[in-house]
Structure 1
Amino acid sequence: MDIPRDLTNVTLYERLGGSAGVRSLIDDIIEAHMQNPTISARFLPYREDPERLETAKRHLCDFFAAGSGGPDRYAGRTMPDAHRGMNVSEAEYMAATDDILTTMARHGHDEAARQEVLAIIWSLKEEIIHA
């Protein structure tokens, strides 16, 4: 008989499927951004430069993993530094947020996990918009 695991000790990172789950999620989030008319212009150029795209995905995976309780350390730029000069609008931020949450739902992540990610996203808003 399987003994249920105490979910209070399971990190968001583990619930997202660990490294492989986060990578799959990031791949699909970036693709959703490329399809989203509100923000696609910011992401489509990455398609023309596979090395740059892979670097961006690696940084996003590290950031997402570290922020969700994973073992990885994020050694990239701060949110303000990464978005400085981009003049990200509220509409663009919300479009990206919607893509993330929709992709998580498509991956089968429950409402609790999506709400945790939303809280993280919301905590970064002031560091990204109009940076």
Structure 2
Amino acid sequence: MTDPVSGVMQIEYLTLDAAMPVRQAAGLLHANGQESAPVVNSTGDLVGILTQKDCFRPAMMASYYRQWRGNVGEQMSDQVKTIEADLDIVAAAEMFVAEPHRSFPVLRSGQLVGMLRREDVLGRLLQLG
């Protein structure tokens, strides 16, 4: 067995609130160089994920109407694929092959503990070979 996901996941990551204006969230994703960010409620539970791709429709509408509309909750996906912190790196790599996602929220005992990016897994696999 190789290293667990918890050894390469990002432990400092952007989180968003469903009530946040989508314009603000898009700006935060861009400014922080993040492809996506987990959306959490007031107790820190994962309720969704917002990706840069999710922000394109409101951005295009804003270019037409000259005004951003909506909040994160209206644009996020609430069907979130997650990964367990103790899953090994090879199994995580298989998830990235099978799914179009560039990152996954990482859970331990149902609690959000990190974000795993494709580049983190690839970097670790390069070290193994």
TM-score, normalised to structure 2, is 0.28
The alignment's TM-score, normalised by the length of structure 1, stands at 0.27
Higher strand share: 2
- Of Structure 1 and Structure 2, the greater helix share is in 1
